[in-house]
Structure formats: C-alpha cells, structure tokens
Amino acid sequence: MDALDPGGEWLRIAEHYRRLTDGELLALGRQQSELTDFAQEALTHELHNRGLKVEPDAEEEPPPIPDVPPPDPTYKEDRELFTIREVWSARDALKLQWILDRAGIPFFMGKEKATGVDAVTSHFADGVDVQVMAIGYPWAAQVLRNYYPEDEPRELSQEEPEPIKVYCPRCHSERLSSSG
C-alpha cells in the first residue's frame, strides 16, 4: 500500500472489488471488520452500486458456561493479604511495582487495593501499604531483599538535646541555655 497516495490506493482497491463476483463480494462483506479503512469504504461503495446487502452469518450459540463451584474455603488463608512494605512516594511505589510485576507476583496498594501506582488515590505522604497474598509472600520477600526505598520519612529523635554551656562574657560564669 502506498501511504503517500491514499486516493490511488482507494482506486486500486475499488477496481479489484469491481472484478469480483457477487458471491465473493458478499463473502468479503461478512469479514468487513478485518479490512483496512480504504478497503471497507471501497467494499461498501461496490456493494451499494450492485444493490447487494450483506446478511450476517447465522451465529452459532456459544457453548453454555459451565457451573463453577465456589472457591474452596480451605484456600482462604492463602488469599489473605499481608503488608510487605509501606511506601512514602510514587517513585518508591513505581520501583516496587516494577520489581513485583517482573517477578509475576500480584500485589495491592493502599486502602483502595489498587493493582498499579496509577490507580492509587491514597496520599503517599501518609504512607501507602503494599500487600501480597499469603501464598506469594515467600516469593515477594525473596525478590525484595535488595529493595531499598529512597523516600522513607526520617524519624525525629525524641531525646532532649544536650544543654549548651553558655558563659557570661563579663564574669565567665557558666550558665545552661535551658535554665534561662
């Protein structure tokens, strides 16, 4: 197909369809969705010119959906979710998603149980849990042993700072900064 001459391509296809028999055109009409835009347009034009109408094939009924028993309750423990990490930024979440996707381990992020970072609506500043099913936990732990987050919040020290010794400039007596 010559992408530089769309009009010429349409004419070439239309001429080809003019040479087909009515039966061939009708058969092609039943497969119209598989044709290019040019071919669909030319086919529709030729069918209209000949006064032909494409009747859809008699559709076979799909086989009935088999009755599937409910999941075995003994696997309930395997499907239980466990938090493997808490992430504090989209950057860390994307890194974790990449690792888990590459290993083929399903995961869920945040309260919304999103399966990808783009679907997370929770605020990363508050921390977002990343969870896996119990059955996948050993594999997740294995692939995440070399995962190091880049945006973990810093823990503030709860200890009192040591008092700073302050000396009087005149008498050089010692005063503690916390005593005023």
Residues 6+ apart with CB under 8 A from 92: 149, 150, 151
pLDDT reported for residue 113: 92
What distance in Å separates the CA atoms of residue 162 and residue 177, rounded to the nearest whole number? 10
Tally of CA atoms within 13 A in the half-sphere of 22 that contains its CB: 8
Between residues 166 and 92, the one the model is more confident about: 92
The pLDDT-based confidence of 97 (bands split at 50, 70, 90) is very high
pLDDT at 2 over 60: no
Mean pLDDT in residue range 64-93? 80
The pLDDT-based confidence of 180 (bands split at 50, 70, 90) is very low
Q: Are 9 and 36 in contact (CB under 8 A)?
A: no
Strand order in the sheet with 128-133: 81-87, 128-133, 108-109
pLDDT reported for residue 76: 79
Between residues 136 and 152, the one the model is more confident about: 136
Mean pLDDT in residue range 131-150? 88
Phi, psi of 103 (to 5 degrees): -85, -10
Residue reference for tokens 């497969």: 31
Mean pLDDT in residue range 55-66? 67
pLDDT reported for residue 11: 85
pTM, full prediction? 0.46
pLDDT at 169 over 90: no
Q: How many CB atoms lie within 10 A of CB 110?
A: 21
- Per-chain mean pLDDT for the chain: 82
Could you give the 3-state DSSP secondary structure of residue 82?
strand
pLDDT at 128 over 90: yes
Mean pLDDT in residue range 14-39? 86
